[in-house]
Amino acid sequence: MGTDPRHQLSSGNSASLLELARLFLKLGTVAFGGPPAHIAMMEDELVTRRGWLTREQFLDFIGAANLIPGPTSTEVAIYVGRVQGGWAGLLVAGSCFILPSSIMVAALGWAYVRYGALPQLAGVLYGIKPVVIALIVLAVVKLAGTAVKSTWLAVLGMFAVLAFALGTNELLVLAGGGVLAGFVYGFRSGRGEKPSSMPALLTVSGVSAGASAASAFSLGALFLVFLKIGAILFGGGYVLIALIRSDLVARLGWISERQLLDAVAMGQVTPGPISTAATFIGYVLGGFPGALVATIAMFLPAFFFVAISGPLVPRLRQSPLAGAMLDGVNVAALALITVVAWQLSHAAVVDWITLALAGGSFLLLIRYRVNSAWLVLGGVVLGAAKFWLRY
């Protein structure tokens, strides 16, 4: 009787599949500003306005989403759908949150492929890219306050930065950070615990590391690349940039760093999860079929992990060893973001105007908390003005 999650966690007000679809289509259409903004909007709609969940239940979903790989805000939507509508609700809520942004990004991908060589679009992207760099740097600053919980983790993070800078495989460093943190916890606790109980999520990364070894482009290879990325995406949306760069730019050579920055910019200028950058890249590489394949592969692991993690999450959250290992993974992910921000800045900050735009955007973000959507719009205006004035 008590196995249905709608009976376990519902606060008393349940939703129909149609209501779930309407709400998450709305959120997917207007949720600019990244995961923190997405979660704030969900809390207002789900807890304050509709009373579908208590605040404590909503926080549980956020905590659960942070323990599994994938885009956090998307996974919160999937958790809510699972509780409110069962398996059908899981698919409806997650798909409806992803769909609006995916359609917008695919349309932008079409325009980019058709008109990308035109100076008008080049001017717009010229203004957006420095803002993207500022957003990544701000993410590093914010995440550092949460991830670097001790001197030991700071040291681990510095070694991870060095390893990434020297070209070490990102999966090896992420998994190594978790395993090493687990060993240190076991040594300090005096219990002799070994990190063999690390969630299978890291094992997935190791198993799938070689899944995309082919260098020739095909839709099948594209699916495997983004399926792997979606399955190991710890640390938030900006780790996605690092993983895409490692696979599609550095190893396979399917896209350039400029195209990667353009993909991130498209993800920023549209609402919904930044992971829809995969949709843009898929379109650039394979048209609408490529966009569809990349999108499905990118988000499929999130649905899978949410579906299987329900009974596991309470145990993981109560395990000090698992918590210590996840701390190690998070610090390594932060190091990865830091290195990639530095590498991508060379393609985004190309003159004094872009330097001023990146610095000014960072100041507005950290000092005045300006919504990122306004900054992206400002970058669009500045880039377009530069083109029209022929500066």
Full residue range of the structural domain in which residue 198 is found? 105-389
Same structural domain, 68 and 177: no
Q: Name the one residue in this structure whose structure tokens are 């070894």.
A: 213
Same structural domain, 167 and 20: no
Same structural domain, 165 and 243: yes
Mean pLDDT of successive 10-residue stretches along the chain, which has 391 residues: 45 76 90 71 85 82 78 90 90 95 92 75 79 82 83 93 86 85 86 48 42 70 94 75 89 90 80 88 95 96 88 67 82 83 85 93 88 79 82 52
Indicate the residue among 64, 97, 130 that finishes a domain.
Answer: 97
Same structural domain, 17 and 127: no
Residue 65's nearest CA partner among 202, 236, 268, 300 is: 236
Same structural domain, 267 and 195: yes
Note the helical H segments in the chain. Answer: 5-9, 17-30, 35-43, 55-66, 72-115, 119-147, 151-165, 170-189, 200-208, 219-231, 237-244, 257-269, 277-309, 313-318, 320-348, 352-368, 372-389
pLDDT of 74 reads 92
Same structural domain, 289 and 236: yes
Indicate the residue among 97, 118, 153 that finishes a domain.
Answer: 97
pLDDT of 80 reads 92
Q: Cα–Cα distances in Å, from 31 out to 74, 180, 266, 349, 364? A: 11, 37, 14, 28, 20
Indicate the residue among 44, 65, 97 that finishes a domain.
Answer: 97
Domains in the chain: how many in total?
Answer: 2
Please return the burial class of 355, using the count of CB atoms within 10 Å of its CB with bins 0-12, 13-18 and 19+: middle
Same structural domain, 275 and 151: yes
In whole numbers, what is the pLDDT of the chain averaged over residues? 81
pLDDT of 278 reads 93
Same structural domain, 384 and 254: yes
3-state SS class at 351: coil
pLDDT of 296 reads 96
Please return the burial class of 107, using the count of CB atoms within 10 Å of its CB with bins 0-12, 13-18 and 19+: middle
pLDDT of 144 reads 84
Cβ pair 106, 279 in contact under 8 A = yes
Same structural domain, 79 and 187: no
Same structural domain, 86 and 124: no
Start-to-end C-alpha separation, the chain: 70
Same structural domain, 250 and 151: yes
pLDDT of 159 reads 95
CA–CA distance, 300 with 288 (Å, rounded to integer) = 18
pLDDT of 91 reads 95
CA–CA distance, 291 with 281 (Å, rounded to integer) = 7
Note the helical H segments in 116-169. Answer: 119-147, 151-165
Q: How long a stretch of residues is the chain?
A: 391
Same structural domain, 250 and 324: yes
